Structure 1
Amino acid sequence: MSSVIKAIQSGRIWDFDGGIHPPEMKSQSNNTPIRRIDLAPYYVVPLQQHAGQAGDLIVKTGEKVLKGQPLTQYHGGGRILPVHAPTSGTIVAIEPRTIAHPSGLSDLCVVIEPDGNDTWVEREQIEDYHLLSPEQLIAKIRAAGIAGLGGAGFPTAAKLTGGANLIKLLIINAAECEPYITADDRLMQDRADEIIEGIRILRHILRPEQVVIGIEDNKSLAIESLRKSLDGSEDIQLRIIPTKYPSGGAKQLIKILTGMEVPKGKHSSAIGVLMQNVGTAFAIKRAIIEGEPLIERVVTLTGDAIHDKGNIWARLGTPVQHLLSHAGYRPTAGNGQIIIGGPLMGFSLPHLDVPVVKITNCILAPGAAEFGEEHAEQACIRCSSCADACPVNLLPQQLYWFSRGKEHDKARQYNIMDCIECGACAYVCPSNIPLVQYYRQEKAELWEIRREERKSEIAKQRFEAKQQRLQREKEEREQRAQQAAQARRASQTSSEGVDPVQAALARIKARQAQSAAPESTVPSADAQPIQQLRPLTPNAESAPVVADDSMAAAREARKQLAREQRARKAAQQNVESSTAPASGIADSSENTDPRQAAVAAAIARAKARKAAQEQGADTTAAASHNEPATVTPNAENTAPPSDVTAEAVDPHKAAVAAAIARAKARKASQEQGADTTAAVNHSEPATEAPNAENTAAPNNATTEAVDPRKAAVAAAIARAKARKAAQEQGADTTAAVNHSEPATEEPNAESVATPSDATTESVDPRKAAVAAAIARAKARKAAQEQGSDTTAAVNHSEPATVALNAENTAAPSDATAEEVDPRKAAVAAAIARAKARKAAQEQGADTTAAINHSEPATVALNAENTATPSDATTEAVDPRKAAVAAAIARAKARKAAQEQAKTQASEE
């Protein structure tokens, strides 16, 4: 920087690329002094007149204000500036109005109706600013609402604060290069002394090494005025530069005076240079010395449509219509265009009620022929004239295509934000393309995109900060909970001597091992897991938080127990839904699972039904209608007294034996011939009503229910078979047999009456059933070989009705009945049946007819209908053994019948 300063002091200047030399058109307005005009009927003061945010509104409608009174206030930070009342009067409205902006949009404005007195607010004047510190001076500049008056509108206080202790060179921009505009030129001519005083205030604040005023050579009167005000002072140097547009641009003027370029995306303070406008220096002087805020500025009124051209002191908020009326504006036919700013960088107004703001330096009202005929926009011919004229070395042609195509990334990549909107490219374009308008629109869209991105980034940062806070709070809660759990665990360990976590794990392992044990141990374990789960958290009610490890162990134990219970219930439901419910087996003195007994009984009944369908017709007729023997196992139907212990019976084996016996009986009935079936069916129709395990026990006995549906089905089947055989039987034999007298055979099996102090001896039903089955088989074989004569004789003499009552016991409290051997009874019954069959075969048709009119027999099988007193104990009977014994007895009876038939035949 020292070499640059030496070059400046030597008078050297540089040049910038591009630029144009349009007609200046400055002589229309720079020949007359700055004049003042009357107060406007109303003033519209926008709250935002600078590059930044608006201040906080501190007035309201109907309030009276004084000239220079703040309407908004600075609330700290950012680019915020207050605005002030341009005159004294009353606030009549606070509403959106159209503002001086290329977009033509509306913004919030304060509308003031002047009272005509133009009374100032109390002002603080300073005679010697050297007594104030730079910070105090900057604060006063901010309070005065001063912004850059050269056109950018950047807050001066923010600019000075950012460049403190970094500025080596202060440049005062007096170039004013755009055609038609002479506001700074005329201000330098009329107020050169005040401008120099303002420059010295800036030098006192920044303390730069060098201060330079840059001014174009076309402002000879202004140059003369400045030199006169400087009066040979060397602290401020005046540099005259060639006239070239846009030499008044900040970067271009820095390049001309120093030869340096401002880095992309940086401010001039980055290279130690700060630039201020001459109008800004004048406003600083009035704010510090006179204590006047920025409420007015110099505005150029020019153009062929204005009669009294020149520069005026326009108060901020004055409607353009009022200024033009004062200047003798005469709109021409077909041309009512009013431009704020110069012809190259200005913009047209939508209407004339737009107010003057801090950056308004010129109002141009051109005549009909002043700008020439307006030409329509044509296609770009790629002549590169715009690129040659661009002072920033951009590619205006490419930026034009990107702006039209909304290619924002490409436009940003080609540095559209570095465009200073000087209008040089549009001025030289032979296709009359309004390039600057395209660039402004594209830059506005890019600013909006950047604003949204900034909002998204802020939102993301806030979200991440919130997530971090929530995660931190969660970790703190978990840490506190863990510490509390450890404390409780230690307390329980010290008080009980056992670690609750290890105890819970041990219980879980024990349950897993128990679930893997045989199913017989499951019932006793049903109640234990719930009882064992409760000690897991002995202080569950008093402690609000439970340790994570102990709670997890407890939950796992409960889940395991629930799974085991569901599995057992599902197995039981599947069995009950597929089969009929079995007779209950209850023994309070034994640990037998009733569910296993029910499953076994259901399986036995299913096998019995299947075997019955395969049974032949021969044996069925003889056995079912003559002597249907029903093996009904007694499965633990006992009523044990309080002082006696009953012996346990295996119900599974008993049910299997009973099923086997029934299956063999049905199969034999299917194989039996039609003749014998018809004779026996009509003589001895039997109703099979197996009553399973019907026990009536007073006091301590358990009563088991009989399934009536099964008994009814069995009886219906028997009757259907009898009717079918009757239809097939011949008329002669049927008549003889039907009129005979039926015989009744009533072997009572195990009709026992037990006293209160006596114990009934158990009988093996399986052996009895086997013996009976063998006897029946031999009897059938003998009956087939026997002639018809002997059979007829036997049928007339001893027709029998079989009524097997199994364990029908009526026991008084003090009497004891004599035991009956079921095997002997079964043998006797088999012998009688064999004799009856043999006699029926030998009997002729005449004798047979008399039999069917006799008294029919009913087979009523009552299984285990037992009534025991309170003090008696009945021993359990094994049904399988009883069935086997009965089968053996019947086989022996048949064999004896065959031998007896042979003997009788030999005797006859």
Structure 2
Amino acid sequence: MEKLIDQIKQGKVWSIPGGIHPPGQKLQSTTQAIARLPLPDKLVVSLKQHIGANGKLIIEKGQQVLKGQALTKPSGNWSVPVHAPTSGLISDICPMPSAHPSALPELSVIIEPDGEDNWCELNPVPDAKALSHDELVDIIHQSGIAGMGGAGFPTYVKADTRKAIEFLIVNAVECEPYITADDMLMREHADGIIAGIELMQQLLSPQLTIIGIEDNKPDAIAAMKLAAQHNDSIIVQTVPTVYPSGGEKQLIKLLTGKEVPSGSIPADIGMLVQNVGTLFAVNQAVHEGKPLIERVVTVTGNTIHKQGNVWALLGTEIKHLLDCQGFSPVPQQRVVMGGPMMGFTLPTVRIGVVKTTNCILAPDHQELAEPGDEKACIRCSACADACPASLLPQQLQWFAKSKEYDKLNEHNLFDCIECGACAYVCPSEIPLVQYYRVAKAEIKEQQAEQIKAERAKERFEARKERLEREQEERQNRHKRKPAAKSDGEKQKVADALARVKAKSDDKDSKSAVATAIARAKAKKQGAEIEPDNSEVAKERAARKEQARKYKEQKALEQGEEGVDKDDKKSAVAAAIARAKAKKAAQATKENASAETDAAPKDDKKAAVAAAIARAKAKKAAQAAENQTEAEEDSAPVDDKKAAVAAAIARAKAKKAAQAAENQTEAEEDSAPVDDKKAAVAAAIARAKAKKAAQAAENQTEAEEDSAPVDDKKAAVAAAIASAKAKKAAQAAENQTEAEEDSAPVDDKKAAVAAAIARAKAKKAAKEQAQSDDSSEQINDSNDEADAKPQSDAPESSEDKKKAAVAAAIARAKAKKVAKEQAQSDDSSQQTNDSSAEADAKPQVDETESSEDKKKAAVARAIARAKAKKLQQEGNDKS
């Protein structure tokens, strides 16, 4: 830093990029001193003469004001007041054209001067060094001082910066052509400017103050050096004449060699820049107590006869300035506020002077030619070479025309100082600065709309939250709060908990209590805890296992004791067979009962229906038995389990068939016995039963014939076949007995014969059952013997052949006996039918004696007995 200060004190000046050298045209307005103009007829004081918010009006229409009296007071950010330039009457407060290229109306105060120019009470400060920082800033603020170099930035904001300032830069360059307001101010009021600099030094405490002046102002340089010779911290530095060296960032670069980053302000790098006119206004506000009500304005141009600088009251119309300086307009006269580079053409001369007005230029057509028509860009890059901010003007112009605002921001549009150097050198006469100004205005408007939208969104969200909060409060007000527990209730709860804890001596009870307490706490907190059912699940599983074992044991007890528990497949097969047999028996029973219930008992056709039901029941039982036998045949014969399963299935099938037959007999007994047609129906039923038995016998023989003759299993098959034949015969006999019992009771002979037949049939059935049991035991023992390891000598093929021959002979005899029995039954049926018919007819033939009838009945009984005996012998042989 010391090295930099030494370089500055030695007079070193750095260079800046770009820049142009337009004609100065300054001598015309510096030949005379600053003049004072007579009071105008009216003053149009705009409320907005600076960057920031407008002040709030504190006066009203028709009020008399004094010179220097405040018209507004600060309100809002960067707001400074405006004051009455002279004493007079406020004739109106209304919008008037603004000092802007658009001339948009802005609220203004119109004052009619009274000509007396009376000041309000002033409060000068005799010793400014005794003022505090805040007091000094407040004086600057209330005096309405803003930047007078062109930007209009409020001075109090810069003076109140909390950042450390190393260099205070005084901008006295005034580089734009025609403008000499600062030059003449420095020549005539250098002491006041230095006094203002010292006040800023008091506020900012910079290490060094540098006054930059172009080398084309020798008189001003001499005056400033003379006024600052008593202050060693102030240096007057001469800089080369180049446009736009008067720009804030460009002047810092020239005097210190430091560059302000894009998007930053000079205070960020320890710099602060003030214009000489602003510093002079600070001096007047503090030392004289005068607010900012006037400034120096250069009035020049070839159409002005008395070119020079004047003290212009704020609000003085431009027309009054021109008229006082000898204005001679030409056709299509242009009047520019500002210089030829950065100024703008006024749409009307009825616009008042503002704090940033430094020049009024009224040129003729030769002095400032009208711009020609815009032509296409030839990409000469002259604009980029002339840009002091190192931008790309042609690229910015394309983005501005296409309204690509994001691209403009990326290319640092707001670093443009609108100096007009690019437009000055453009051979295509493109008004580049105008494009940039419009684009900046549109971007600012877009940002303002975005800020508005964000604020509206914040207000909406705040309102929504407020409404929700109010609704929640209303709901909570209506909720009934739970009654607070008294101390006694709380003590009772505590005592109960203590008792529970005291009782839980063992570990199990303690864990149970702890679990209950945990569940209660979790429930209170709103959590859901799943109950621990592990113990209950274990007990349920144990009970299921016990029930399963009990069922297995019960099933084994019902079967034979030789069942192997390890073979699960045979048990499954047996269970399937049992289920099928049960289903068949149940279906038979239901069908028989349904048919019996449906038939009226007092009807003669009941016997016929009963016979049909018996036939169906026997057929279903036979089908179930055949299915069971098929399953037994499909199972391996040498397996004990299959034999046990088959035995169980046979037993259940017999039981189901017997139950169905008993039910049928009961139905037959319920039928009327005095009906002669019952005998006919019984005979028909017997015939059907015999036919079913014969079919079963034939099926058994077919199965035996299909089996291999040389196998031991043939004997077992033969035994099973004989058992089936016996069962069919016994069923037929039982049916016959039932039918005989249902015969008419008025025939004594028939009753005697039926009784004899029943006795013989029962005896034969008993002997047959004993024979079946013995044969089954023999078969089972044979199966067991076959299943055991054959320790004896193997049976020869001769024995196998003999067994096969014996089985075939037994089958043939059984077939013959069944055939003879069928014939005998048919003959007896015919006899019974004829006797029934004879009984139904009127007894014409009285010659037949009772002796002959007795003989016939005895003969029938003897025939039946012989048939049964022959059948029994055949079964025994087999």
Q: Fold match, TM over 0.5?
A: yes
- The 2-side partners of 1:473 and 1:33 are apart by 72
Question: Equivalent residue for 1:144?
Answer: 143
The answer as to 2:455 corresponding to 1:443 is no
C-alpha distance 772-260 of structure 1, shift in aligned 2 (>3 A): same
Matches within 5 A, 1:730-809: none
Question: Equivalent residue for 1:134?
Answer: 133
Question: Equivalent residue for 2:78?
Answer: 79
> Among 333, 341, 355, which residue is 1:344 paired with?
341
Matches within 5 A, 1:43-82: 43-75=43-75, 78-82=77-81
C-alpha distance 482-241 of structure 1, shift in aligned 2 (>3 A): farther
Whether contact under 8 Å (1:69, 1:85) holds in the other structure is yes
- The 2-side partners of 1:92 and 1:776 are apart by 139
C-alpha distance 121-380 of structure 1, shift in aligned 2 (>3 A): same
- The 1-side partners of 2:680 and 2:840 are apart by 16
- The 2-side partners of 1:267 and 1:11 are apart by 25
Question: Equivalent residue for 2:721?
Answer: none
Question: Equivalent residue for 2:506?
Answer: none
Question: Equivalent residue for 1:392?
Answer: 389
Whether contact under 8 Å (1:163, 1:269) holds in the other structure is no
AA paired with 2:339?
G
Q: CA deviation at 1:439?
A: 1.2
Question: Equivalent residue for 1:201?
Answer: 199
Question: Equivalent residue for 2:177?
Answer: 179
- The 1-side partners of 2:61 and 2:669 are apart by 122
The answer as to 2:350 corresponding to 1:353 is yes
* Identity of matched residues, %: 49
- The 2-side partners of 1:250 and 1:437 are apart by 21
**Helix, strand or coil at the partner of 1:266:** coil
> Among 245, 261, 281, which residue is 2:279 paired with?
281
Question: Equivalent residue for 1:16?
Answer: 16
Whether contact under 8 Å (1:65, 1:85) holds in the other structure is yes
C-alpha distance 479-216 of structure 1, shift in aligned 2 (>3 A): same
Whether contact under 8 Å (1:486, 1:547) holds in the other structure is no
**Helix, strand or coil at the partner of 1:28:** helix
Whether contact under 8 Å (2:168, 2:272) holds in the other structure is yes
**Helix, strand or coil at the partner of 2:428:** coil
What whole-Å deviation, never above 9, does each CA across 1:153-207 have from its counterpart, x for those lacking one? Answer: 111110011155x122212111100011111112122222222222222222222
* Larger proportion of helix: 2
Question: Equivalent residue for 2:91?
Answer: 92
- The 2-side partners of 1:657 and 1:486 are apart by 77
- The 1-side partners of 2:306 and 2:599 are apart by 139
Matches within 5 A, 1:826-837: none
- The 2-side partners of 1:220 and 1:18 are apart by 25
C-alpha distance 337-778 of structure 1, shift in aligned 2 (>3 A): farther
- The 2-side partners of 1:275 and 1:206 are apart by 12
Q: CA deviation at 1:225?
A: 2.8
C-alpha distance 548-339 of structure 1, shift in aligned 2 (>3 A): same
Q: CA deviation at 1:495?
A: 9.6
What whole-Å deviation, never above 9, does each CA across 1:684-716 have from its counterpart, x for those lacking one? Answer: xxxxxxxxxxxxxxxxxxxxxxxxxxxxxxxxx
What whole-Å deviation, never above 9, does each CA across 1:111-166 have from its counterpart, x for those lacking one? Answer: 333333322221101222122123211110011010110011111110011155x1
The answer as to 2:427 corresponding to 1:426 is no
AA paired with 1:18?
G
Question: Equivalent residue for 2:540?
Answer: none
Whether contact under 8 Å (1:26, 1:181) holds in the other structure is yes
C-alpha distance 493-150 of structure 1, shift in aligned 2 (>3 A): farther
- The 2-side partners of 1:772 and 1:316 are apart by 139
C-alpha distance 498-303 of structure 1, shift in aligned 2 (>3 A): same
Q: CA deviation at 1:296?
A: 1.1
- The 2-side partners of 1:417 and 1:154 are apart by 16
Whether contact under 8 Å (1:482, 1:547) holds in the other structure is no
Question: Equivalent residue for 1:847?
Answer: none
Whether contact under 8 Å (1:402, 1:408) holds in the other structure is yes
- The 2-side partners of 1:118 and 1:389 are apart by 48
Q: CA deviation at 1:777?
A: 13
**Helix, strand or coil at the partner of 2:112:** strand
C-alpha distance 271-498 of structure 1, shift in aligned 2 (>3 A): closer
**Helix, strand or coil at the partner of 2:136:** helix
- The 1-side partners of 2:70 and 2:675 are apart by 135
Question: Equivalent residue for 2:377?
Answer: 380
- The 1-side partners of 2:679 and 2:52 are apart by 128
Q: CA deviation at 1:85?
A: 1.8
What whole-Å deviation, never above 9, does each CA across 1:541-575 have from its counterpart, x for those lacking one? Answer: xxxxx97849x99xxxxxxxxxxxxxxxxxxxxxx
Whether contact under 8 Å (1:67, 1:87) holds in the other structure is yes
C-alpha distance 902-72 of structure 1, shift in aligned 2 (>3 A): farther
AA paired with 1:221?
D
- The 1-side partners of 2:340 and 2:72 are apart by 33
Question: Equivalent residue for 1:685?
Answer: none
Where structure 2 has 5 or more consecutive residues not aligned to the other structure, the ranges are 499-522, 530-590, 607-662, 682-833, 845-878
Question: Equivalent residue for 1:215?
Answer: 213
What whole-Å deviation, never above 9, does each CA across 1:744-777 have from its counterpart, x for those lacking one? Answer: xxxxxxxxxxxxxxxxxxxxxxx9xx97997599
- The 2-side partners of 1:79 and 1:101 are apart by 20
C-alpha distance 67-479 of structure 1, shift in aligned 2 (>3 A): same
Whether contact under 8 Å (1:99, 1:106) holds in the other structure is yes
Question: Equivalent residue for 1:584?
Answer: none
Question: Equivalent residue for 1:227?
Answer: 225
C-alpha distance 310-779 of structure 1, shift in aligned 2 (>3 A): farther
- The 2-side partners of 1:116 and 1:386 are apart by 51
Aligned positions, number: 558
- The 2-side partners of 1:901 and 1:352 are apart by 152
**Helix, strand or coil at the partner of 1:288:** helix
- The 1-side partners of 2:370 and 2:261 are apart by 41
AA paired with 2:842?
S
C-alpha distance 102-2 of structure 1, shift in aligned 2 (>3 A): farther
C-alpha distance 421-899 of structure 1, shift in aligned 2 (>3 A): farther
Q: CA deviation at 1:345?
A: 0.6
> Among 227, 239, 242, which residue is 1:241 paired with?
239
- The 1-side partners of 2:421 and 2:8 are apart by 28
**Helix, strand or coil at the partner of 2:390:** coil
- The 1-side partners of 2:417 and 2:334 are apart by 24
- The 2-side partners of 1:27 and 1:658 are apart by 142
**Helix, strand or coil at the partner of 1:254:** helix
- The 2-side partners of 1:899 and 1:465 are apart by 116
- The 2-side partners of 1:86 and 1:354 are apart by 16
C-alpha distance 482-399 of structure 1, shift in aligned 2 (>3 A): farther
- The 2-side partners of 1:277 and 1:338 are apart by 25
- The 2-side partners of 1:784 and 1:337 are apart by 146
> Among 360, 363, 366, which residue is 1:369 paired with?
366
C-alpha distance 378-208 of structure 1, shift in aligned 2 (>3 A): same
Question: Equivalent residue for 1:640?
Answer: none
- The 2-side partners of 1:549 and 1:204 are apart by 69
Question: Equivalent residue for 1:118?
Answer: 117
Question: Equivalent residue for 2:306?
Answer: 308
- The 2-side partners of 1:32 and 1:265 are apart by 42
Whether contact under 8 Å (1:264, 1:418) holds in the other structure is yes
AA paired with 1:211?
T
C-alpha distance 294-496 of structure 1, shift in aligned 2 (>3 A): same
AA paired with 2:329?
P
C-alpha distance 774-331 of structure 1, shift in aligned 2 (>3 A): farther
Matches within 5 A, 1:24-35: 24-35=24-35
Whether contact under 8 Å (1:485, 1:547) holds in the other structure is no
The answer as to 2:258 corresponding to 1:260 is yes
TM (norm. structure 1) is 0.54
**Helix, strand or coil at the partner of 1:265:** coil
Q: CA deviation at 1:367?
A: 1.0
**Helix, strand or coil at the partner of 1:45:** strand
C-alpha distance 778-51 of structure 1, shift in aligned 2 (>3 A): farther
